[in-house]
Amino acid sequence: MPVSNSRDTILIERRYAAVFGTITDESIVALAAGVEEKLRDALAKVLALPAGAFAESATLAQKVRESMKNRKAYLDTGVLFGEAATDKAIDLLGDKSDDPSLEDLQTVIPSLIELYGLDAVRLMAVQYSTSLGGFRKLVSTDPRFAIPATQATTSATSSSQTSSVDAAAQEAKRKQRAERKQKDKEARSKADLQRRAARGRI
What are the tens digits of pLDDT across the range 132-171? 999 999 999 999 999 998 644 444 444 444 454 555 556 6
Cα(106)–Cα(132) distance, integer angstroms: 14
Q: What is the pLDDT of residue 151?
A: 43
Residues 62 and 153 in one domain: yes
Both 113 and 188 in one domain: the answer is no
Q: Which domain holds residue 38?
A: 6-162
Residue 66 counted as domain residue: yes
Query: Residue 8 has what pLDDT?
Result: 81
Give the residue ranges of the chain where pLDDT is below 50.
151-162, 164, 202
Residue 85 burial (10 A CB sphere; 0-12, 13-18, 19+) = buried
Q: What is the pLDDT of residue 70?
A: 95
The answer on 183 and 134 residing in a single domain is no
Claim to verify: residue 14 and residue 43 sit in the same structural domain: yes
Helix (H) / strand (E) element for 26: namely helix 25-33
> What is the dihedral sign for C-alpha 11, 17, 21, 24?
positive
What contacts 125, CB < 8 A, 6 or more positions away? 135, 138, 139, 145
- 134 and 177 in a single domain? The answer is no
Report if residue 50 sits inside a domain. yes
Task: Say yes or no: 112 and 178 in one domain.
Answer: no
- Is 1 within a domain? no
DSSP 147: P
Angstrom CA distances, 134 to 127, 138, 153, stand at 12, 6, 24
Taking the whole predicted model, whether its pTM rises above 0.75 is answered as no
Count of domains for the chain: 2
Confidence (pLDDT) at 97 = 94
